[in-house]
Amino acid sequence: MNHVLPPTRDVPPHRRAHIRARLEQEVSGGRRAVRFAPLIAAGVAAAAVVALVATLAPWQGAGDDAATAATVTTTTSSAPPAGDGPVIPGLSPERVAEIERGCLESTLRPGKAVLYQYVTDEVGAFALLYTANEQVGCTVDGPVMPYNATSGTVRDTGWLPGPLAVDAFASASGGAHGKAEHAGEAGYDLAVGRVTGEVAKVVYLHGGRSVEARIANGTFVARIAHPADWEMPDGWDRLGVVHAYDAQGLLLGEWRNEWDPTKCWVRPDGVVVAGARDLDPATCAPAVAWR
């Protein structure tokens, strides 16, 4: 009889995400947990996607049906603000501080998070925050919790793999599939991330629908709402595509949830900040400064 234990192996990223969602569902005992797709794609630089402009209609993804647009207000500049920090219209400094503190505390993470966007739509209020190496997506003023956040690692938020970086894809079933207090809540598909100042428009495509993202403070938030009785199919959270365009409508970058082990991006000091870590940094493309 062979008593030798099998070698230890890492759990694949998609399996880790599914295990996490199942654990959250069991712990909460209520609404089906938000499912975050593991981000394994890399943004595509402008020079690499010029050929796609000829084959794709503007703001339409490869393989997607004709999209039904649901537009969210978009700012005209995506550059991160200089000086004291992001500007959040309609919120007092005291309220901004409350959201930053409450959202980070709900993740049980130490440190300091900075609020970059605060969005209200038919789904509710959503806050996008960043620390030095994490993205924090936070539901604000929900029916049960005032702050309910999930965080994801970003190796260095000061750098981007090109003009576009998607830091989280997420999907959630409607509230009819959870506790009674969630019954009227909408389901949704979500994409959030960071962009450079040359990006004037970001479009999120999912399931034959599209939404124009809200761009502010060098970040974007795009959310597609679903009815309260909508239930997320298995694997649905991995199907989103994000496109970034300049002011003339030229496609600058595309982001899909597909792992490419041949790509990486480095800071000027040679540290890999995006893509595959096991490649020779000398073969990596230069990362783009975000702030």
- The residues with which 212 forms a beta bridge, in sequence order, are 203
Parse the chain into domains and list their residue ranges: 33-289
The C-alpha atoms of residue 274 and residue 161 are separated, in whole angstroms, by 6
Please say whether the beta carbons of 95 and 89 come within 8 A: no
The C-alpha atoms of residue 182 and residue 165 are separated, in whole angstroms, by 32
pTM for this structure?
0.74
Local confidence pLDDT in tens for the 291 residues of the chain: 444 444 444 444 444 444 444 444 334 444 445 665 545 433 333 322 222 222 222 222 333 333 333 333 333 344 444 446 799 999 999 999 999 999 999 999 889 999 999 999 999 999 999 999 999 999 998 877 899 999 999 999 999 999 999 999 998 888 655 566 566 688 999 999 999 999 999 999 998 999 999 999 999 999 999 998 888 888 776 789 999 999 999 999 999 877 789 999 999 999 999 999 999 999 999 999 997
Class of residue 268 by CB neighbours under 10 A (exposed 0-12, middle 13-18, buried 19+): exposed
- The residues with which 220 forms a beta bridge, in sequence order, are 193, 215
Continuous H helices in 151-283: none
Single out the residue of 63, 40, 12 nearest to residue 258, CA to CA. 40
Helix (H) or strand (E) holding 263: none
Q: Name, in order, each residue with C-beta under 8 angstroms of 133's C-beta and a sequence gap of 6 or more.
A: 153, 154, 155, 156, 157
Q: CA angle at residue 109 from 106 to 110, to 5 degrees? A: 120
Q: Name, in order, each residue with C-beta under 8 angstroms of 22's C-beta and a sequence gap of 6 or more.
A: 33
The C-alpha atoms of residue 241 and residue 238 are separated, in whole angstroms, by 9
Continuous H helices in 68-158: 93-106
